[in-house]
Structure 1
Amino acid sequence: MTSFSIFLPVRNGWPYVQDCVASILAQTHADFELTILDNQSTDETGPWLKTLTDPRIRLQSSTSSLSIVESWARILHAPKREYMTLIGHDDLLGPGFLAAVDALIRAHPDAGLYQTGGRMIDSEGRTLRACSVPPEREDAAGYLRARLDFDRDVFGTGFVMRSRDYERVGGIPPFEKLFFADDALWLSLMRGSYKAGDPADHFAIRLHLASESASLPSVWGVILRSLAQFQAFLQSYVPGDARAAEVVRELGPSFLLGYHRNAYIYALVEASVAGRPISEATRNQIESSLAAHTGFDGSRIRASARVRAVEFLNGSPLRATVPWLWTLYNRIKNRPK
């Protein structure tokens, strides 16, 4: 029977961490252990974790407050079984997740990475929508084509790898705030191999106000810096893969343009929250980043109706409506189906 390690880094995960842990312990595949890496939680998470007595659980607590990069870096040197997976503290595993991956491993023993299908849920556990369906077999070029064409949901939950491979590639790369780090890790594990997928729904990614506020709107600078890290990774990755290199040449500039537009919108929302128009320095910084990474004129950021609408409101007496409209937009986009 395939043996798995499940790694759950957490900081202030109350109350969702309870359901997350329960979903892991409910696996029908019996051979696994759960390592919980608590990062100085200050809510009910810490005391609750100390009450857990299931022999399959290993609890490790940091001695100081760590950044998210430092917290997840602990996984690299933790004891592991043959295969491993990562999960966010507010996500869930279906009871058959490990069993489905075990079947994938048996059917595709030479794959470098394994993935199942999943769904998005809200704070109450209601289904928002299905995640993009993983192909039964996908190489790095195929993954990149879907990712750079904005046709792929991105998250750390739902993937399984060999523990020795995770250690061989150095674990999840230390990109700022771990933005795009998942992509780089999956591509590193797929190098010279492929990802095997089961399209069935076996996990859930939770979207809620806390997770949304972690990325909006004040992290536009982080997005620019992590994009630069991801682009540098791709430039070092593709020389050994002609098909992947062609995908990056074809779709990379439009992918970067899309994320620069997102960063600009986040900066506009941030400025509106502060009750002011966006500064010229911020605008120049984002436009200069786009030009440096794509060769595009920075003004192409505004060649989008959505960008122009938010920019107009930010520059008008109606700027106070921007945060409200942005929240409404995200609620409608992520409403239960």
Structure 2
Amino acid sequence: MSVDFVIPYYGDPEYLFATIDSVRAQHRQDWRLTIVDDGYPGNRAFEYIQTLGDDRIRYQRNDERLGPNGNTYKASQLAEREFVCMMGADDLLEPDYLDVVLERLEADPQAIMVQPGVRLMDSDGNLLPSAGLGDKVKHAISSSARKAGRISGEAAVKGLLAGNWLYTPSLTYRQSALSKIPYRPDIDACHDLAFVVDMLMDGGTLLVDPREVFRYRRHQASDSSQRAKDGKRFDEEARYYALIADELRGRGWNGAARAADLHLTSRLHALMLAVGRLGAGDFAHAGTMAGKALRGK
């Protein structure tokens, strides 16, 4: 089985170099890697790839910046091999990552994606001894899916819209399912969730494997963290949840639609930020975040 790694890139090139090295260190070597540079200043990424002399690694640079959502969608459409991993440009693979995800996908023809176990690291690459509040919430709401090992249909979509517990950069997909998803503009903050929901709505099963073969970098410099601070994240999430709720009602998935209407974890996140800004004396920002939490938009 062959794999396409596609990395939508914009950020610290040192992180990207480590990510590339972790791909090259895989036990299974039947892979291709494509870097899609969204116009990050300088040429260090290209220069590093040139030094490797590895013809399995391709590089292309966008003429104009597409943003996280647009660049991720473009990267997804460049994948041609049977399986695809769209990892983050600052995350790392354990050497047996492909062993685990391909084993599961090969054993279950109905599976269209697999979520392996994830270890968290900080911005310096140090493994975190314990998860933060957000990750503890993810662990709690994913307990039934992890116990079952596989989810599908409306129940899967409802659960993810109630609280997105996935670490989507760690997922590996069947290219046949990934290639059919539509492009949804103006949802940079939750485009990864939208990818998975669209694939589940189209049929197929999401597998969950407990083996920890992926390292997810948790740091405050991420795009999603910045969007949460200025409120753009919640505007984009509200826009997406309203859109997907209408689509779900159209197919009779009313329970999943209600979960989208409520989008409880998104609103709780806004409320936590409101409390934090209130404690810092930033009353204007606190009021804005509280409004997003209470109104859901």
Letter of the structure 1 residue corresponding to residue 16 of structure 2: V
- Quick one: distance in 1 between partners of 2:3 and 2:286? 51
Instruction: Tell me the C-alpha RMSD between the 2 structures.
Output: 3.2
Alignment of 1:154-303 (within 5 A): 154-170=166-182, 173-177=184-188, 179-191=189-201, 192-211=203-222, 214-215=225-226, 218-240=229-251, 242=253, 245-249=254-258, 251-252=259-260, 254-256=262-264, 258-263=265-270, 266=273, 277-278=283-284, 282=288, 286=292, 289-290=295-296
Letter of the structure 2 residue corresponding to residue 137 of structure 1: R
Q: Give the secondary structure class of the aligned counterpart of 2:222.
A: helix
Q: Deviations over 1:259-302 (max 9, x none)?
A: 234335546767998x7530798479637843xx7xxxxxxxxx
Count of residues in Structure 1 that have an aligned counterpart in Structure 2: 282
State the 1:184 CA deviation: 2.0
Q: Deviations over 1:137-186 (max 9, x none)?
A: 11144434543554x53332121222122121236x43422x22222211
- Quick one: distance in 2 between partners of 1:272 and 1:195? 40
Select the structure with the greater relative contact order (CA < 8 A; seq sep ≥ 6): 2
Q: Deviations over 1:123-143 (max 9, x none)?
A: 232222477474421114443
| 1:40 lines up with 2:39 in the alignment | yes
| 1:68 lines up with 2:77 in the alignment | no
Q: Give the secondary structure class of the aligned counterpart of 1:169.
A: coil
Q: Which residue of 1 aligns with 2:7?
A: 8
- CA 1:176–1:219 in 2, change beyond 3 Å: closer, same or farther? farther
Q: Which residue of 2 aligns with 1:30?
A: 29
State the 1:193 CA deviation: 2.2
Q: Give the secondary structure class of the aligned counterpart of 2:36.
A: strand
Comparing 31-40 with 213-222, greater Cα deviation is found at 213-222
Q: Which residue of 2 aligns with 1:314?
A: none
Q: Which residue of 2 aligns with 1:119?
A: 119
State the 1:92 CA deviation: 0.8
Contact 1:27–1:95 at 8 Å: present in 2 too?
Answer: yes
State the 1:122 CA deviation: 1.0
- CA 1:272–1:64 in 2, change beyond 3 Å: closer, same or farther? farther
- Quick one: distance in 2 between partners of 1:270 and 1:49? 43
Contact 1:267–1:278 at 8 Å: present in 2 too?
Answer: no
Q: Deviations over 1:279-331 (max 9, x none)?
A: 798479637843xx7xxxxxxxxxxxxxxxxxxxxxxxxxxxxxxxxxxxxxx
Contact 2:248–2:257 at 8 Å: present in 1 too?
Answer: no
| TM-score normalized by the length of structure 1 | 0.71
- CA 1:147–1:235 in 2, change beyond 3 Å: closer, same or farther? same
Contact 2:6–2:79 at 8 Å: present in 1 too?
Answer: no
State the 1:234 CA deviation: 3.2
State the 1:230 CA deviation: 2.5
Q: Deviations over 1:238-268 (max 9, x none)?
A: 54364xx32543x445534x42343355467
Q: Deviations over 1:91-133 (max 9, x none)?
A: 1111111121211122101222222111111123222247747
- Quick one: distance in 2 between partners of 1:219 and 1:259? 14
Larger radius of gyration: 1
Q: Deviations over 1:180-226 (max 9, x none)?
A: 22222112212332112221111011012322784365331331232
Contact 2:115–2:167 at 8 Å: present in 1 too?
Answer: no
- CA 1:220–1:280 in 2, change beyond 3 Å: closer, same or farther? closer
| 1:80 lines up with 2:80 in the alignment | yes
For structure 1, the 5+ residue unaligned runs are: 294-337
Contact 1:8–1:88 at 8 Å: present in 2 too?
Answer: yes
Contact 2:177–2:199 at 8 Å: present in 1 too?
Answer: yes
| 1:137 lines up with 2:150 in the alignment | yes
Letter of the structure 2 residue corresponding to residue 218 of structure 1: K
Contact 1:217–1:269 at 8 Å: present in 2 too?
Answer: no
- Quick one: distance in 2 between partners of 1:28 and 1:53? 19
Q: Give the secondary structure class of the aligned counterpart of 1:197.
A: strand
- CA 1:199–1:264 in 2, change beyond 3 Å: closer, same or farther? closer
State the 1:76 CA deviation: 4.0
Q: Give the secondary structure class of the aligned counterpart of 1:198.
A: strand
- CA 1:269–1:159 in 2, change beyond 3 Å: closer, same or farther? same
Q: Give the secondary structure class of the aligned counterpart of 1:33.
A: strand
Q: Give the secondary structure class of the aligned counterpart of 1:199.
A: strand
- Quick one: distance in 1 between partners of 2:209 and 2:286? 48
